[in-house]
Structure 1
Amino acid sequence: MNIENSSVIPDLDFDSPAARRGRKFRALKDKVATVGIGLGGVSVIIAILLIFFYLLYEVIPMFRAAEAQPWQQNGQVVEPYAVPGKGKTLYMAMEEQAEIGLRVTDRGEMLFFSTTSGEVIESIQAALPADTSITSFALVSENSHTFALGLSNGQALVFKHEYKSTYPDGKRVILPTITYPLGKDPISVANVALAQLTVSGNEGSYALIGGNEGNLKAVFISQTENMFTGDVELEQSTTSLPDLGIKIKKMLLMPDLAWLFVAGEGGKMAVVSLRNHDDPTITQVLNASSSKITTFDLLLGGNAILLGNEKGEVSEWFLVRDEQGSWQMTKIRSFDTGTSPVVDLAIEHRRKGFATIDTAGDLRLYNTTANVNVLVQRVADANASMITMAPRANALLIEENGKLKLWHIDNEHPEVSWSSLWGKVWYEGYDKPEYVWQSSAANNDFEPKFSLMPLAFGTLKAAFYAMILATPLAICGAIYTAYFMVPSLRRKVKPFIELMEALPTVILGFLAGLWLAPFMEENLPGIFVTLLMLPLSILAFAFLWAQMPKQIRWLVPDGWDALLLIPVIILATWFSIAISPSLELALFDGNMRHWLTNDLGIAYDQRNAMVIGIAMGFAVIPTIFSITEDAIFAVPKHLSYGSLALGATPWQTLTRVVMPTASPGIFSAVMIGMGRAVGETMIVLMATGNTPIMDANIFEGMRTLAANIAVEMPESEVGSTHFRILFLAAFVLFMFTFVVNTMAEVIRQRLRNKYGSL
């Protein structure tokens, strides 16, 4: 047999039509995959950029400067017009739409007029007693619309301007009226002409204080409604005030009728306590200004005073408790102003803001909480005498040389400044500057507190305690699973742990808030004993297991002995919890929480950072474990085999070869886990108590940026400052994760370059 002919070498044709079609199809698939993967990556980048720019789109309007420009109607600038009526202006105001103005004169004339033309809509003459004249004026507050006229016979009249909108034939018509909160009859205040007058109060309780230096009387009025006739009856009590010892320029009465503030000549201010109506007492007389006081007004809410002087300085004052518990009038902040004397000051009706105009005709807009001057603009000549602001703070009426000018104001977000967002702010009613987040309240006089510091602190605090629990457990578990565990057991353990990541966080939050938090509070000593007993029990069992005869140890297949730790962990946990009541009774008199609070001064909240550490750590463990395990398992085997062959122990091989090589992946796992912890919402929302406080105490709660957005975004008004600050919080969270991940990638690349040559 011919050997050469025994084997037939097939004739392979690599250029057949079928082969060519196969190569073209593979090339097409390769190109489609390349383009698809590229488009997917680019799409992810575009999506992230769109999120970034959308957040900026919502945030940027907060930082736009305020603007003032002459009012326009039908595309035409409204020209200045003559002041309606005669006499000196005592008070000006505008209604909600800034369409109708009110001017009160020293002749008792109350004129409602069009703010764009000056046309008088209605004129009402105050019913002054015969042979009397108006000697003083007092305003309760801008938003109350209530004011009083002091008369030369010692009496006073109280008025309130109101506006009603009707829609005949589908067209809005605003009807202005004057009402009498305390009746049409004059109220006797003092037995001398009311050279000075102040009034305050609300439905049911009012007070009027008037007179002159050395002869001030306070009249306290209670309103009661007759349940049978419906008539309102007034009960009055009159008290004499002590001599203040200063020449009075203006008086202000707080809405709670407990304090009287008096501005005097020489920049002096007197503080009088009216808490005891029968015995008013002078608590302070201080030098509030280095020059003549020109404006003296209550800020919205009536708790703070704005004081302006002839040097152009404006400062804010309110009562603060000292170390002895006494109330002291304290200068809180000064505002950046010009050098010209302040002529008049207008208070915003719904925000902690105000406007000033000086003798140079410069208009300045301020916000007290943000301590910022948002606008400086020349709006008048050197003869402006009065300004008033519309309730929506979108219009300003200026009186100058017997004419009125109407200006449009665009000042949407004056509450925002770097100091109000990230610095300590001295809020009304607080004893010192604080970081506070409190975005809403039950009344319109509320001072919004938009400090992001408590939220940023809470975010880092929650992530810190979660990572303390999750990082060592996840990394150590990944090391054992990838390096020491037998493949058959690894194939069961790894998917089981990764399956934990699919558990909805709302379920974890629900269990943490409603079960874990009360359980930990009831068994607090047992929890701490568990943290101590678990590692000791594991070490003790490992030592005992190593001392067992080989015949016993060989009964357990190699690599499966880790399963023996399961009953050890269960028994150690059960034992720790079981001895908790006895331990608490023996060491803490039956109440560890009470001992922490009263003996150590450590506050304890049921939903606290320790609960978060356990619950959120449980949620973060699968993420860190999975990536770390993959990184360690992917270390080339020839590295570890070579190390072992050279005489290194398995532990030396792990710490000096495997771990450095896998360090880029381990670092990425930790950073991704931290990103997950920082962005977690539902667990911290349900298990922290959601209190925006700055305290590192592990037994107190917190509020995170993500949880705050979830809670308050549905309730915020679209386009409001609150709404946009929530977007700013989202932007801060976005930038934090972006910066952390960028730094993590830089470090990961350096680790890869350093250990990639192993």
Structure 2
Amino acid sequence: MTQFDVQAAASRRRHWRQWKDRATTATITAGGVSVLVAILLIFFYLLYEILPLFESARVEADGDYRIAVDDRPLYLALEEQAEVALRLGEQGSVLFFDARSGAPIQRTQLDTGKVPISSFSLESEASRLMALGLEDGRVLLAQHNYRLSYHDGQRQIRPSIDYPRGTSGVSLAQAPLSSVAVRDGDRALTMIGISAGKLVGKRWRKEENFLTGEVTLQPVALSLPTLDITADRVLVGPVQRWLYVLSNGGEYRLIDLQSGAVADRGRLFEHDTLNQVRFLLGGISLMAASDRGAITQFFVVRDSDRPSGHRLQTVRHFQSQNSELAQLLTEHRRKGFLAIGRDGQVDIFHSTAQRRLLSRQLAPKNVISAAIAPRADALLVETSGGQLYRYKLHNEHPEISWSVLWDKIWYESYPEPDYIWQSSASNNDFEPKYSFAPLAFGTLKAAFYAMLLAAPLAICGAIYTAYFMSSPLRRKVKPIIELMEALPTVILGFLAGLWLAPFIEKNLPSVFSVFLVMPMAILLTAWGWSRLPLTFRQRIPDGIHPVLLVPVVLAVVVGCVMLSAPMEQAFFNGDMRAWLTNDLGVDFDQRNALVVGVAMGFAVIPTIFSIAEDAIFSVPKHLSYGSLALGATTWQSLVGVVLPTASPGIFSALMIGMGRAVGETMIVLMATGNTPIMDANIFEGMRTLSANIAVEIGETEVDSTHFRVLFLAAFVLFMFTFCVNTVAEVVRQRLRQRYGNL
């Protein structure tokens, strides 16, 4: 081969290497960029799903028309599809009309016997049961219903007025009823009114014939107190226990219908007078609006300091832009409400989120009545002269605010404000509770107990394996520990939930005795080893001494388990769990943070160990050799030279291990009990953000508030991991700059 051929072959090899280097560089760069792009896409997709949660409400005009009426409205309503509207006039006239065009569908007259209507109330939007107080002291119950049918593929809605208790009505008094309230439940029917300034009422117990299904009403004695205020309005709570008596001046009396006594008294407003009052969804919260536009939420809470044991609690305050309200509307399926002024100003609020979602001036003036659709997607406003205006509402996710997600919220039927996650329940009146605080706390709690177990064991194991252990033993130990990481976490969660949790509960004394006895046993073994003859100790090669501790560890564990029952009998009267609960006041749950710490610590140890061991083993040998040559001991060389040099890698190992613990799903899902509570007790369970997403994402309705809140939880977890990794990288770089010149 000539010199030219050799040079040509060398040139081809150089070009081939350069091409491979460029291809490898391009591939690695493309892979890295792809990872960054994927992370950014995840970030923006999460934002795309959660941004609608924080949008404000919108109102769009959807037409106006005039209907032929000759009396003022008592009540205006829309059916489910917002296609048919009901208008009840003060003379008892009922008009069903097309809510989109105003075309009349059906006209009728309530069967009041030509007796004028003196008062009106609605039991609830869901039941559509109307109570009409008459001038002769009777109460007439009427209900507007809508029947769907399909003809030639077209949906038809047939409205009707029904009389659940007959057309004759129920006599409550001999004088006109200035106010009336009704509650029709599964077990009882209660009617209470105000006549000549006095409370009058009746209650019936419902008895069902199990053979025929027929329900009969049996009168029940109802005791009502004598009032010391001018009674102008009366409302009955949903369980028919609480009676709210209000005066236009703002005074109230809360009456317990079980005992017939006044449970609480006071004023709704400090200086203002009462304008409007309505129940929120479920009938627990009372929304009262003053003559100055102030709106306050109240509900009954327990109070052991009062003789009655209850009081009417002021919960939240809202301020409407309307000085004179024409209508206070409450949503049919959410805890939202609308304040509509006579001048057309509309304010949309959500009570629990304490948000003003919209404040806008509408076109109509001289508003006298309004109605909101059951789905809260349409609004109907009536002005004087029978002129009606229809609006489209866009208000998809009013329940979410910063306070709902992270602050204590005073929910209905709770004794005080608290952090609560409860996304679903069995009844329609339930209010979802979306506090991230217990989930974030549970995430940090699980990670803390896992790192408390994993970090010392993994770091100390990495130090000994990389610096002290002999190379032949290290080549066996390191792969075995790293293989632990390949064990599926679902298997660890399964074992933790079904085997480890019952084992720890049964052997609590042994668990704590292991933590106490194991260090002493190892130190005692080391002291005994140092007392053995030097000739015997020299027979054991350097670096494999930890093998001698394996029998000691096994003996301590087996011995503590065998002595668990005797220790429990001797020190805890045979039941350590009962001793913790009764004597120390510490609640014990079988699936708790201790189980999670052991199981998740076992999963995190390989990650921390592998990275930390590589960092320590990669410290140049000449550094430790130089330290030893200058007279330092092996321990001094480790502490003063090796560990500072490897500290960036050790810190990275801890942060990656913590990220693994924070994002772990299956172990905490199967071994914690999934109770979203905020309790640092090691014997109590928790629910983490990742486990909560895994549990609930499959049961949510797509694009619902719950669905988007779960995506928000994923975003919080993403940002938490991002912040931890960013801080870890900053600290790692500073450690590298500080100790990189050793």
Segment of structure 1 superposing worse, 402-411 or 53-62: 402-411
Q: Match of 1:4? A: none
Question: Quick check: 627-636 or 714-723, which moved more?
Answer: 714-723
- After superposition, the C-alpha distances for 1:452-504 in whole angstroms (9 at most, x for unaligned) are 01101110010011001000000000000000000000000000000000000
8 Å Cα contact 2:232-2:247 kept in structure 1: yes
SS at match of 1:248: coil
Q: Note if 1:283 corresponds to 2:263.
A: yes
Superposed, 1:607-646 pairs within 5 Å as 607-646=591-630
Deviations 1:566-621 (A, max 9, x none): 11000011111221111111111111111111111111111111111111000000
| 1:300 partner amino acid | L
Aligned counterpart, 1:65 = 56
Take 1:59 and 1:231, find their aligned partners in 2: how far apart are those partners? 50
- 1:653 pairs, out of 637, 657, 662, with 637
In structure 2, how many angstroms separate the alpha carbons of the residues matched to 1:741 and 1:368?
A: 38
CA change 1:734–1:19 in 2 (3 A) is same
SS in structure 2 of the partner of residue 141 of structure 1: coil
Describe the SS at the equivalent of 1:364.
Answer: strand
CA distance in 2, matches of 1:139, 1:729: 39
Summarize deviations over 1:207-257 as a string: whole Å, max 9, x none. Answer: 111132443222112344445665443323353522222222221101110
Equivalent position of 1:429 in the other structure: 413
Q: 222, 242, 247: which is aligned to 1:239?
A: 222
What is the CA-CA distance between 1:410 and the residue it aligns to?
A: 0.4
Question: Quick one: which of 277, 298, 309 aligns to 2:279?
Answer: 298
Letter in structure 2 aligned against 1:542:
A
Distance in 2, matches of 1:750 and 1:13, equals 53
Pick closer, same or farther for the CA change 1:265–1:577 going to 2, 3 Å: same
1:84–1:118: 8 Å Cα contact kept in structure 2? no
Match of 1:330 in 2: 313
In structure 1, the residue matched to 2:290 is 309
Q: Which residue pairs with 1:689 in the alignment?
A: 673
Conserved? CA contact 1:214–1:243, under 8 Å: no
Match of 1:48 in 2: 39
Distance 1:301 1:645, change over 3 A: same
Q: Is the 8 A contact 1:136 1:194 kept in 2?
A: yes
- Equivalents in 1 of 2:418, 2:216: separation in Å? 45
Residue 340 of structure 2 is aligned to residue 340 of structure 1 = no
Partner of 1:521: 505
Aligned to 2:398: 414
**Equivalent AA in structure 1 for residue 508 of structure 2:** L
Task: Report Cα offsets for 1:621-678 as digits up to 9, x if no partner.
Answer: 0000000000000000000111111110000000000000000000000000000000
CA contact (8 A) 1:313 1:337 kept: yes
CA distance in 1, matches of 2:193, 2:445: 55
Superposed, 1:136-535 pairs within 5 Å as 136-226=119-209, 231-237=214-220, 239=222, 241-276=224-259, 280-289=260-269, 290-324=271-305, 326-338=309-321, 340-402=323-385, 403-535=387-519
Aligned length, in residue pairs: 738
Q: 1:227 to 1:748 in 2, by over 3 A?
A: closer
Q: Answer yes or no: is the 8 Å Cα contact 2:172–2:202 preserved in 1.
A: yes
Could you tell me which amino acid in structure 1 is paired with residue 341 of structure 2? D
Equivalent residue, structure 2, for 1:734: 718
Matched, 1:114 2:105: no
Measure, in 1, the Cα distance between the counterparts of 2:612 and 2:212. Answer: 82
Q: 1: distance between equivalents of 2:241 and 2:445?
A: 42
Partner of residue 540, structure 1: 524
CA distance in 2, matches of 1:215, 1:315: 26
Equivalent AA in structure 1 for residue 34 of structure 2: S
Structure-2 separation of matches of 1:744 and 1:669? 10
- Residue 285 of structure 1 and its aligned partner are, at CA, apart by 2.2
Moved more, 550-559 or 614-623: 550-559
Q: Quick one: distance in 2 between partners of 1:482 and 1:702?
A: 37
List per-residue Cα deviations over 1:711-745 (Å, max 9, x = no partner).
Answer: 01111111111111100000000000001101100
Decide which of 105, 111, 117 is 1:134's aligned counterpart. 117
Q: 8 Å contact 1:477–1:625 — kept in the other structure?
A: yes
The whole-number CA distance in structure 2 between the counterparts of 1:584 and 1:138 is 65
1:712 matched to 2:712? The reply is: no
**CA distance in structure 2 between the aligned counterparts of 1:477 and 1:523, rounded to whole angstroms:** 27
CA distance in 2, matches of 1:319, 1:225: 31
8 A contact 1:485–1:560 mirrored in 2: yes
Retained in 2: the 8 A contact 1:213–1:244?
no
Counterpart Cα distance in 2 of 1:14 and 1:533: 76
- What do the CA deviations read for 1:7-31 (whole angstroms, capped 9, x no partner)? xxx9866853322222222121111
Structure 1 residue runs of 5 or longer lacking an equivalent are 1-9, 72-77
Cα distance change, pair 236–30 in 1 and its aligned pair in 2 (3 A): same
Counterpart selection for 1:671 from 655, 670, 676: 655
1:417 is matched by which residue type in structure 2?
Answer: S
Identity of aligned residues (%): 53
- Residues of 2 paired with 1:464 and 1:107: CA distance? 69
CA distance in 1, matches of 2:302, 2:619: 65
In the TM superposition, what is the alpha-carbon distance from 1:46 to its structure 2 partner? 0.4
Partners of 1:84 and 1:119 within 8 A in 2: no
1:707 maps to amino acid: A
Distance in 2, Cα, partners of 1:699 & 1:557: 44
Mapped contact 1:84–1:111 kept (Cα < 8 A): no
Q: Distance in 1 between matches of 2:559 and 2:523?
A: 16
| TM-aligned CA distance change 1:597 to 1:672, over 3 Å | same
CA distance in 2, matches of 1:662, 1:99: 72
How many angstroms apart in 1 are the aligned matches of 2:2 and 2:636? 56
2:9 maps to 1:29: no
Cα distance, 1:550 vs structure 2: 2.4
Task: Name the amino acid aligned to 1:287.
Answer: R
Give me the CA root mean square deviation: 1.6
Contact 1:474 1:621 in 2 (8 A): yes
**Contact 1:263-1:269 at 8 Å conserved across structures:** yes
State the distance in 1 between where 2:52 and 2:324 align. Answer: 33
| TM-superposition CA deviations, 1:317-353 (whole Å, max 9, x none) | 0011123371100101101322613221011000011
Unpaired runs of 5+ in structure 2?
none
Q: Quick check: 2:119–2:180 contact (8 Å CA) kept in 1?
A: yes
Tell me, in whole angstroms, the C-alpha distance in 2 between the residues paired with 1:226 and 1:372: 48
CA contact under 8 A between 2:197 and 2:230: conserved in structure 1?
Answer: no
SS, match of residue 557 in structure 1: coil
> Is the CA contact 1:148–1:157 (under 8 Å) kept in the aligned structure 2?
yes
